């Protein structure tokens, strides 16, 4: 039984007792009837006042609780002149105002942070309690090559994307460089935050391709200049001395002269090879700005196919062309782009080794022309993927690690996008987007 019911029952019992007393007095002492009736009226009025005084604040509290339960913080109670009730009203109104202000501030901060996340050049993924993507900003969607709406509610390892699989392996608190499209470098950081007392995680992906390229270029330019200076000084002086020594061959006996001249020729030939070796590195840092002229990319690749045909025939490598829509003639430096495609095609030939196919694809994707060169080699090893386009890194036994570096520099100066990637054990594809 509630307090209200108990009070109502008590008042009814008291007034029934007074009513019974009035009936008794009506029979025994009629003059007292008016006094008892007056007492009954006063008792009813006092009872109603007492009832209101007791349950008015309780009703206010009940109404306030319902407003709080409904998150209704805009309603205010008016003071009615009762000190206790007015004090309760002031406390409630102050609390409601504070909660309303806090909610408005929280909403403003939420919308502000949401705008920052959406506009941020950093890729941001926020996960729910089950490690499913709840928020993916446009930058993250571009990196994962999937619309943001299709990312929502999925786990990273559920996406058919190699980059997403590598992201799933990043642990909270870890920062890690990952390769994107083989040519781009992305710094990924995974952290956690508390939501309603439980931990949730988020990923931040910052592309540092250009920053790393500039830092690498500054470093290897300094090294190459230093090496070139020292080698050229030494080789030039030694070659001059060796050439001078040849003049003394006439003074030797006939049986010694031939060995003497052969030894000097071998030494001078090694100097020439060393000069050529250093020149190949120096060419990377002395790469001139491209001279842009309209160039037919298909014709350029067909000419290179003719150039490489004898080697491909010897290795039993077939050529296939998938060029339903070749790109229109584009402004580019033909000589430099020949270097790019020669490097890529020779890498494809060496990756295949014997008995395979090189497929040249051309076309247009969302308004942009592209050329892709695919080979049926063994693909890119996982440990080498993160080092593609890194200066002086090579997977070849006698490689110098400058081929892809030069390719990167030429394509970057042209403003062309490019990628190099392969599925594990599958074909490798180098793509240039104009």
Q: Are residues 303 and 426 in the same domain?
A: yes
Q: What is the pLDDT of residue 324?
A: 72
Q: Are residues 339 and 417 in the same domain?
A: yes
Q: Are residues 231 and 191 in the same domain?
A: no
- 112 in a domain, yes or no? no
Quote the CA–CA distance of 329 and 295 in Å, as a whole number.
5
Helical residues (DSSP H) of 184-319, grouped into ranges:
209-246, 254-285, 297-315
- Cβ(262)–Cβ(301) below 8 Å: no
- 324 in a domain, yes or no? yes
What pTM was estimated for this model as a whole? 0.62
Number of CB atoms found within 10 A of residue 292's CB: 13
Q: Are residues 100 and 32 in the same domain?
A: yes
Domain of residue 39 covers 3-107
Quote the CA–CA distance of 120 and 58 in Å, as a whole number.
51
For residue 352, report the phi and psi dihedrals to the nearest 5 degrees: -75, -45
Q: Are residues 419 and 318 in the same domain?
A: yes
Mean per-residue pLDDT, 294-304: 88
- What confidence tens digit (pLDDT) does each residue in 350-383 have? 888 889 999 999 888 776 888 999 998 887 776 6
Quote the CA–CA distance of 68 and 88 in Å, as a whole number.
15
- Cβ(412)–Cβ(217) below 8 Å: no
Quote the CA–CA distance of 346 and 281 in Å, as a whole number.
18
Quote the CA–CA distance of 317 and 354 in Å, as a whole number.
7
| Mean pLDDT for the chain overall | 78
State the CATH number of the domain containing residue 141. 3.30.450.20
Quote the CA–CA distance of 352 and 21 in Å, as a whole number.
117
Quote the CA–CA distance of 35 and 21 in Å, as a whole number.
11
Distance of CA 339 to the CA centre of its chain: 32
Q: What is the pLDDT of residue 406?
A: 81
Q: Are residues 249 and 347 in the same domain?
A: no
Domain boundary (181, 207, 233) is at 207
Q: How confident is the model at residue 159 (pLDDT cuts 50, 70, 90)?
A: confident
Quote the CA–CA distance of 166 and 425 in Å, as a whole number.
17
State the CATH number of the domain containing residue 318. 3.30.565.10
- 418 in a domain, yes or no? yes
Quote the CA–CA distance of 199 and 303 in Å, as a whole number.
60
Q: Are residues 41 and 87 in the same domain?
A: yes
Q: Residue 199 burial (CB < 10 Å; 0-12/13-18/19+)?
A: exposed
Higher pLDDT, 270 or 99: 99
Q: Are strands 198-207 and 184-195 parallel, antiparallel or unpaired?
A: antiparallel
Q: 341: closest CA among 293, 308, 377, 292?
A: 308
Q: Are strands 356-365 and 317-323 parallel, antiparallel or unpaired?
A: parallel
Q: Are residues 241 and 307 in the same domain?
A: no
- Cβ(428)–Cβ(379) below 8 Å: yes
Q: Are residues 411 and 353 in the same domain?
A: yes
The single residue listed with the structure tokens 């003049």 is 247
Q: Are residues 305 and 402 in the same domain?
A: yes
Containing 257, the helix (H) or strand (E) segment is helix 254-285
In the chain, count H helices and then E strands. 12, 12
3-state SS assignment for residue 163:
helix
Residue 269, pLDDT > 80, answer no
- Cβ(405)–Cβ(223) below 8 Å: no
Q: Are residues 137 and 89 in the same domain?
A: no
- 212 in a domain, yes or no? no
- What confidence tens digit (pLDDT) does each residue in 218-244 have? 777 776 666 666 666 666 667 776 677
DSSP state, residue 426: S
Residue 268, pLDDT > 90, answer no
End-to-end CA distance of the chain, in Å? 82
3-state SS assignment for residue 323:
strand
Q: How confident is the model at residue 408 (pLDDT cuts 50, 70, 90)?
A: confident
Helical residues (DSSP H) of 296-402, grouped into ranges:
297-315, 334-352, 382-385
Domain boundary (189, 207, 225) is at 207
- What confidence tens digit (pLDDT) does each residue in 166-198 have? 898 899 888 888 888 777 889 999 999 888 888
- 30 in a domain, yes or no? yes
Domain boundary (166, 186, 207) is at 207
Residue 91, pLDDT > 80, answer yes
The single residue listed with the structure tokens 């330019």 is 221
Q: Residue 260 burial (CB < 10 Å; 0-12/13-18/19+)?
A: middle
Number of CB atoms found within 10 A of residue 384's CB: 14
- What confidence tens digit (pLDDT) does each residue in 48-80 have? 666 556 555 666 667 777 777 777 777 777 776
Q: Report how many domains make up the chain.
A: 4
Q: What is the pLDDT of residue 125?
A: 93
Q: What is the pLDDT of residue 18?
A: 64
Mean per-residue pLDDT, 330-351: 88
Higher pLDDT, 306 or 20: 306
Distance of CA 332 to the CA centre of its chain: 31
- 151 in a domain, yes or no? yes
Q: What is the pLDDT of residue 309?
A: 86
Residue 203, pLDDT > 90, answer yes
Q: Are residues 31 and 160 in the same domain?
A: no
DSSP state, residue 134: E
- 53 in a domain, yes or no? yes
The single residue listed with the structure tokens 């910052």 is 206
Residue 263, pLDDT > 80, answer no
- 115 in a domain, yes or no? no
């Amino acid at each position: 039984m509630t307090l209200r019911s108990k009070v109502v029952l008590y008042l009814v019992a008291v007034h029934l007792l007074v009513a019974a007393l009035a009936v008794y007095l009506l029979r025994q002492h009629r003059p007292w009837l008016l006094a008892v009736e007056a007492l009954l009226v006063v008792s009813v009025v006092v009872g109603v006042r007492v009832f209101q005084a007791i349950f008015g604040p309780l009703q206010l509290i009940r109404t306030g609780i319902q407003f709080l339960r409904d998150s209704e913080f805009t309603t205010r109670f008016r003071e009615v002149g009762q000190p206790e009730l007015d004090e309760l009203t002031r406390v409630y109104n102050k609390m409601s105002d504070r909660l309303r202000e806090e909610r408005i501030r929280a909403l403003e901060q939420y919308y502000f942070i949401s705008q920052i996340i959406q506009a941020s050049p950093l890729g941001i993924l926020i996960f729910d309690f089950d490690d499913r993507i709840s928020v993916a900003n446009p930058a993250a969607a571009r990196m994962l090559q999937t619309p943001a709406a299709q990312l929502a509610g999925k786990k990273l390892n559920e996406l058919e994307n190699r980059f997403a699989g590598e992201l799933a392996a990043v642990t909270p608190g870890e920062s890690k460089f990952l390769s994107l499209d083989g040519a781009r470098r992305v710094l990924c950081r995974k952290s956690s935050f508390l939501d309603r007392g439980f931990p949730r995680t988020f990923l931040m992906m910052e592309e540092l391709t250009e920053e790393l390229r500039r830092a690498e270029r500054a470093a290897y330019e300094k090294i190459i200049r230093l090496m070139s200076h020292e080698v050229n000084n030494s080789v030039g002086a030694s070659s001059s001395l060796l050439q001078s020594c040849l003049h003394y061959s006439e003074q030797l006996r006939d049986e010694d002269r031939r060995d003497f001249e052969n030894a000097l020729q071998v030494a001078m030939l090694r100097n020439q090879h060393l000069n050529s070796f250093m020149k190949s590195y120096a060419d990377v840092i002395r790469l001139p700005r491209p001279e842009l002229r309209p160039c037919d990319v298909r014709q350029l690749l067909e000419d290179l196919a003719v150039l490489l045909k004898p080697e491909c025939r010897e290795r039993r490598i077939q050529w296939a062309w998938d060029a339903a829509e070749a790109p229109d003639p584009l402004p580019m430096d033909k000589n430099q782009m020949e270097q790019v495609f020669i490097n890529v095609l020779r890498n494809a030939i060496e990756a295949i080794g014997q008995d395979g196919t090189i497929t040249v694809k051309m076309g247009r994707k969302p308004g942009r022309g592209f050329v892709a060169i695919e080979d049926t080699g063994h693909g890119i090893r996982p440990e080498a993927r993160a080092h593609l386009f890194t200066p002086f890194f090579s997977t070849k036994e006698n490689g110098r690690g400058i081929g892809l570096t030069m390719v990167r520099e030429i394509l970057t100066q042209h403003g062309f996008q490019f990628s190099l990637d392969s599925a594990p054990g599958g074909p490798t594809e180098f793509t240039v987007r104009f």
